[in-house]
Amino acid sequence: MTDARVLRPAADSGPAPSPLVKFQAPEIVFGPGALAEAGYAARRLGARRPLVVTDPGIVEAGWADLLLGHLRAAHLEPVLVTEVTPNPKEVEVAAAWTTYAERGCDVVVGIGGGSVMDAAKGVAILAGNGGSILDYRGVDQVAERIPPMLMIPTTSGTGADVSQFCIVTDTTRHVKVTIMGRALVPDISLTDPRLLMTMPEWLGAATGLDALTHGIEAFVSRAHNPLADVHALNAIGLVDRHLVQTMSDPDDVEARSGMAQASLDAGLAFTNAILGATHAMSHQVGGLLDAPHGVINGILLPHVIRYNAETDPSRFVDVATRFGIKTDGVPSDVVADALAERVRILADQVGVPRSLRELGLDESHLAVLSRNSLDDACLTTNPRASDAADIERIFRAAL
């Protein structure tokens, strides 16, 4: 994992007190009213005609028009693309790229949830490298430079505005393709918590559980490091403190800001420590069913925690403390099981189904989903080595 590895000194360099750590992060602008900085941010990236990628929901909420106004106030000529759907498809990326090329755009701006930002990253990849977006699946397959990217999240969980990931659905194979590499870390992340106010309730629940999954999987990842750990644990605590409140009182500015920061912290954690089996499996279910990614994570995460804890539950103890779970004098395997149950309780509180069967999955899907999960880059940093039979066992438990 090029961007998440711990860099160790050469054998002849003498003793070192700790490993060297590489930490990737964009420039970050955060806080209420931050959207007004978008024009200046785009200009700093050299924009004259930025391509703005978004979806119909963001247009309807009025955020796209507000962004366009800020870009024009900075004497830019934005071009708008709105045809992005949840779990963005390779055909949508190709169409947006065509617009980018035909209109002579120079910077990519994504405003929306993870699907929009992934589509925007896909446009940037094609703008610098050509071909089909599916050609770049895997790690560090983007060889040529790509245009600068400004990302503006409107949900509270995906972390795509700071991450080195791009997830695109292959509509022929009905699978999600993971594209990963340092080239995909946006140049500027701009988070305005006001933009979270217009999320529908189900999306707030889904993206909040996605942020939680990012934090937990990054913390226990094989590639975890002290810098990523700080962000992972902070994200976990913020989700526990604020997610349910945003559901009961959507206009609570403090809770919305807390979830915006949770998303940011979790994104910084997982882009540097990568993820695990929950995401590797969730990507396959999402590709098959076109179901919300965070909802699938919420179903799978407790089962993956229990599975990983069977071989080493120790890393889950620090995670459990962020939920207020008693850990002093309690065996770590018992703590890990309590954590899995607490995650499931949180999913219940925000209305996430208890099983994959409720999403439309059945036994006939499990073998293929399990095999496909092995090809996902996220599985390589799962703390427990797994084969297809192991993954199918987790799927079956979550069914």
* Start and end residues for every CATH 1.20.1090.10 domain found in the chain: 201-398
C-alpha to C-alpha distance for 164 and 379, rounded to whole angstroms: 16
User: No. of H helices and E strands in the chain?
Assistant: 14, 11
Q: Which pLDDT does position 17 carry in this prediction?
A: 57
Quickly tell me which residue has 């949830």 as its tokens. Answer: 113
Q: Which pLDDT does position 18 carry in this prediction?
A: 63
- In this structure, the strands spanning 138-139 and 165-170 are unpaired
Domain 27-196: give its CATH architecture: 3-Layer(aba) Sandwich (3.40)
* Start and end residues for every CATH 3.40.50.1970 domain found in the chain: 27-196
Q: Which pLDDT does position 10 carry in this prediction?
A: 45
Query: Which CATH homologous superfamily contains domain 201-398?
Result: Dehydroquinate synthase-like - alpha domain (1.20.1090.10)
Q: Which pLDDT does position 216 carry in this prediction?
A: 98
pLDDT, block means (10 residues), the chain with 399 residues: 44 57 94 97 98 97 98 98 96 98 98 97 97 95 97 95 96 93 96 94 95 98 96 98 94 95 97 97 95 96 98 98 96 98 97 96 96 95 97 98
Question: Global pTM?
Answer: 0.92
* Both structure tokens of 97: 């790229």
Q: Which of 380, 170, 209 is nearest to 293 (CA)?
A: 209
**196, 247 contact by CB (below 8 A):** no
* Both structure tokens of 55: 């979806």
Q: Which pLDDT does position 9 carry in this prediction?
A: 44
